[in-house]
Amino acid sequence: MIVWCIFALMTAAAIFAVLWPLGREPRKIAGGSELLVYKDQLQEIDRDRAAGLIGEAEAETARLEVSRRLIAAADVMRPAASGPVAPSVALRRRRVAALAALVILPFGPPGLYIALGSPNVPGEPAFARVETPQGHDSIADLISKVEARLASNPGDGAGWEVLAPVYMRLGRFDDAVAARRKSLALNGDSPTRQADLGEALAAAANGVVTADAKAAFGHAAAADPHQAKARYFLGLAAEQDGKNAEAAAIWRALLDGTPDDAPWKDFVRAALSRVTGKDAPAAGPNAEQIAAATTLTEPQRMEMIQGMVARLADRLRADGADVEGWLRLVRAYVVLGDRDKAKTAATDAKRALAEHPEQITQIDELVKGLGL
C-alpha cells in the first residue's frame, strides 16, 4: 500500500510540473513602449534633416522603415486594446496541452505496462536476479565466477569436485587433471576419484592411457573390483600395448554379470568386438527365459539357471570348437559361485581348443581376469 501511495505522489508531482507553466498568464506584449520609440525615431529623423546631417532621400527612406515598424507594433496592440473577445491561439494550445497531460501522465504508463509488460508474473528478489544466471550468460562466464571463488578459497574441495567434470566436457583436459588432483587431495582418496583422475590423464594425452593414468586405474580397480570405468581403461591400456587377448579378457569379465540396463554396456561390447574381430555375445537369457523366470520362486529360478548352464556344458563337450561358448561357461560357473567347476571348464576348453593357440590365450586371459 505504501508503494502505491508513493507512486501516486510521484504522478501528482509530475502532473504539477507540467501544468504549472501551462497555467501561468501569457506575457503581455509591451507594444506601448515600442510605439513611443518609433515616434521618437521619426522626430529624430526630422531633426537630422533640418540640421543637414542627412539628405532628403536618406531621410525619406528612414521614415518609410520606421513607419512600417510603427504600423506593425500598432497592429499587435490592437487585439489587447479591443478586450477579451475570444481566447487566442496560444491560449487554446495551452489548454489542449494541459488536458493531454492530465490524461497521459496518470493513465499512459500503466496502459503501456499492461500492453508490453508482464503484470501477471510474480516479482523476483534482487538477490535472486543477481545470483541466478540469465539466459544470455555463457558457460565461460559461469566458470569464471567459480574459478574466481576458488582462487579466493582454494581449499574448497566441493568446488573442485564440481568444476573438474565441466572442464572435461569443455575439452580443457589439463585443467581437469589439475582439478581432479586437488579434489583427491582435499576430499580424500576413493576408487571413483582415482578412476576420474585416470580418465582426465588419458584425455589430456589424446586418448592414450599413460603410465600415470594406468596407475590411477589400477589403484581404483584394486580398491573396488567393480569399478567399471577403471576396468574398461585397463582393457584399453592392454589393447594399446598390443595385448588384444588380455584386453578382451578384461572386457569380457567386465560384461559378466553386468545389468542389461548399464549405460556403458554396449560401449564395452563394441570395444570387445574391435579386438576380437567378431560381435560380442549378449550376456544372459533370452526374452522368453526372462519372462518365465519372473514367475518362478528363487529355488526354481536357480534350478532353471543351472539347467541352462548344464545344457551349455553338454553341448561344448560334444562340440568343443566354440570358444565363445567356453568363455560363457567359465563365467557362468563363477557367477553361480562354483569356482572349481569354472577351473575344470577352463581346462576342458584348452584341451578342446588345443589346435587354436590364440583361442587358448583367450581362455587363459579370462581365467586371469576372473582370478581363477
301 and 276 within one domain = yes
- Are 12 and 19 in contact, with CB atoms under 8 Å apart? no
Q: What is the pLDDT of residue 80?
A: 47
Tens digit of pLDDT at every position of the chain (372 positions): 576 677 677 777 776 676 666 566 555 544 456 667 767 777 888 887 777 777 777 777 877 787 777 777 666 655 544 444 445 666 677 677 766 766 676 666 666 666 665 555 555 444 344 444 444 456 777 888 888 888 888 888 888 988 888 888 888 899 999 999 999 999 999 999 999 999 999 998 888 899 999 999 999 999 998 898 999 999 999 988 888 889 889 988 888 767 766 777 777 888 888 888 765 554 444 445 545 555 556 666 667 677 777 878 887 877 777 788 888 888 888 777 788 888 888 888 888 888 888 888 888 888 887 777
Total domains in the chain come to 3
Q: What is the pLDDT of residue 9?
A: 77
Between CA 316 and CA 187 the distance in angstroms is: 51
**CATH number of the domain within which 160 lies:** 1.25.40.10
95 and 16 within one domain = yes
Q: Who's near 276: CB < 8 A, 6+ residues apart?
A: 244, 248, 362
User: Which one-letter amino acid corresponds to residue 349?
Assistant: A
288 and 252 within one domain = yes
269 lies in a domain?
Answer: yes
Quote the radius of gyration of the chain (alpha carbons, Å): 49
121 lies in a domain?
Answer: no
Residue 272 CA neighbour count, 13 Å, CB half: 24
- Are 363 and 350 in contact, with CB atoms under 8 Å apart? yes
259 and 302 within one domain = yes
Which of 227, 250, 274 is the C-terminal boundary of a domain?
227
pLDDT digit string, tens, across residues 256-314: 767 766 777 777 888 888 888 765 554 444 445 545 555 556 666 667 677 777 878 88
What DSSP string describes 54-72? S-HHHHHHHHHHHHHHHHH
163 lies in a domain?
Answer: yes
123 lies in a domain?
Answer: no
77 lies in a domain?
Answer: yes
- Are 248 and 272 in contact, with CB atoms under 8 Å apart? yes
Between CA 331 and CA 336 the distance in angstroms is: 9
135 lies in a domain?
Answer: no
Contacts 24+ apart (CB under 8 A), 105-110: 105/11, 105/14, 105/15, 105/18, 106/11, 106/15
Which of 196, 227, 258 is the C-terminal boundary of a domain?
227
Q: Which three cell numbers stand for residue 365?
A: 586371459
Report residue 195 CA to chain centroid gap: 26
pLDDT digit string, tens, across residues 131-160: 444 444 567 778 888 888 888 888 888 889
- Are 30 and 75 in contact, with CB atoms under 8 Å apart? no
Residue 245 CA neighbour count, 13 Å, CB half: 14
Question: Phi first, then psi: what are they for 281, rounded to 5°?
Answer: -70, 145
Q: By three-state DSSP, how is residue 22 classified?
A: helix
7 lies in a domain?
Answer: yes
63 lies in a domain?
Answer: yes
Burial status of residue 83 (CB atoms within 10 A of its CB: 0-12, 13-18, 19 or more)? exposed
Q: What is the pLDDT of residue 366?
A: 83
**Residue 154 domain boundaries:** 140-227
- Are 101 and 23 in contact, with CB atoms under 8 Å apart? no
